[in-house]
Amino acid sequence: MEEANSTVEKVVVPPPQGVWKEWASDQKAFKGVPWGKAMMWIFLVSDTFVFSIFLISYMTVRFSTKVEWPNASEVFGLHVGHYNVPLLLIAIMTFILITSSGTMALAVKYGYEKNKKMCGWLVLATAIGGLTFVGMQVFEWSKLIHEGVRPWENPFGAAQFGSFFFMITGFHGFHVSIGVIFLFIYAYKVFAGHYESGKKGWFTKLKGDYVEIEILGLYWHFVDLVWVFIFAFFYLW
């Protein structure tokens, strides 16, 4: 009886060339990093440039204008009874947003621990905090508009104040609103057990994982960090 010697042929794949070589190097650099997480970092870096341009433009105009800039304590004061409390509303908004950043961090922690209940409630708490922040910002806008602040005029001082305030805080508020929508969606997905069952996502049709909570957390921490700079430039300076 003859024994057949089976030989396994090794297929040698030629190294990538040209454009494919560049793409392969990118894959090697991000090896082990989920693409969603890498893309979120790229988005956040690009968004950082946008907010930086807005704030640098604001500083340039403020330094160059000859008209007195509005007093933040007067413009953003909140009447409580017979007293005008400076920056009360803004302080509450800032506290809520920073607290929501903490709840989001805990949600990521419990997500990786596969604690569905705690992760879901913390994501939901973060969404409610963000929604509260947006509601208070709408109240702040309506108060300033009622007092006569417009993008083209301002009874408290320099006319440029209104345009920069509404543009920068509105752009940030838009980011918060988008984050709140996704927080509610992800809270539902956590409670529904989509990450345990590996159910495919709505947009990409890929199986979900708790890394999605971390990616959303990166976005939410970025939104909170941007608000710290807006708070310093508009309300404290």
The Cα–Cα gap between 196 and 194 comes to 6
Mean pLDDT (whole number) for 165-181:
96
- Average pLDDT value for residue range 144-155: 88
- Give CA separation, 150 vs 29, 147, 155, 236, in Å: 48, 9, 9, 21
Q: Would you say residue 10 has pLDDT above 80? A: no
CA dihedral 129, 222, 42, 202 (to 10 degrees): -10
Domain ranges of the chain: 35-236
Model confidence at 175: pLDDT above 80:
yes
36 Cβ partners below 8 Å, 6+ apart? Answer: 211, 212, 215
Q: Which long-range contacts (CB under 8 A, 24 or more apart) does 32-38 make?
A: 34/211, 34/215, 36/211, 36/212, 36/215, 37/211, 37/214, 37/215, 37/218
- pLDDT at residue 204, rounded to an integer: 47
Q: Over the stretch 197-220, which tens digit does the pLDDT of each residue have?
A: 766 666 545 566 788 899 999 999
Q: For position 53, what pLDDT does the model report?
A: 95
Q: Contact 235/87 with Cβ under 8 angstroms?
A: yes
What are 20-72's pLDDT values in tens digits?
A: 555 445 555 556 667 788 889 999 999 999 999 999 999 999 989 888 888 88
Model confidence at 75: pLDDT above 90: no
162-188: average pLDDT: 95
Q: What is the mean pLDDT of residues 124-152?
A: 93
pLDDT value, residue 2 = 47
> Encoding tokens for residue 189?
């997905």
Q: For 35-236, which CATH superfamily applies?
A: Cytochrome c oxidase, subunit III, four-helix bundle (1.20.120.80)
Q: Return the pLDDT at 169.
A: 95
Helices (H), 30-87: 35-64, 72-75
Would you state the pLDDT for residue 202? 60
Residue 1: the pLDDT is 46
Query: 76-131: per-residue pLDDT in tens?
Result: 888 777 777 888 889 999 999 999 999 999 999 999 888 999 999 999 999 999 99
